[in-house]
Structure 1
C-alpha cells in the first residue's frame, strides 16, 4: 500500500469523541500535496492514525449545509 501524505491545514471542529479518545473532526486537509478539501473522519489523539472518512470540495460542503438547513431535525 502506498504511503498517504496529509497535512491538516486547519482544524475546524470536533463533532464527537469516543471513550478511547478518537475524535470525529471537520478539518481542511491537503492529501498527497493536492489542494486542501474539507474532510470529516475519525482521528486518533495524536492525529497519526485515521479511519475512513469523506472529503468535500467547498461547493459540496455548501450543498451539504443547505441540505442540513432544510431538514426538520
Structure 2
C-alpha cells in the first residue's frame, strides 16, 4: 500500500476530544499534492495518525452550512 501524503494548510477548529487525546478537527488539507479541501476527522496529538473522515469541497461545505443553519437544534 502506498503512503498517503497530506499537508494541513489550516486548522479551522476542534469539534471534540476523546479520553485518549485524539481530536475531531475541521481542517483545510491538501491530499497527495492536490487542491486543498475541508476535512473532518480524528487526529492523534501529533497529527501523524488519523481516523476515517469526510473531505468536502468549498461548495459542499457551504451546502452543509446551509443545511445546519436550517436545522432546529
TM range (shorter): over 0.9
Moved over 6 A (4+): none
| Unmatched tracts of structure 2, length 5 or more | none
**Which residue of structure 2 lines up, in the alignment, with residue 39 of structure 1?**
39
How many positions carry a matched residue from both structures?
73
Residue 2 of structure 1: how far off its partner (Å): 1.0
Alignment of 1:12-51 (within 5 A): 12-51=12-51
Query: RMSD value over aligned CA atoms?
Result: 0.3
TM-score (ref. length: structure 2): 0.99
TM-score (ref. length: structure 1): 0.99
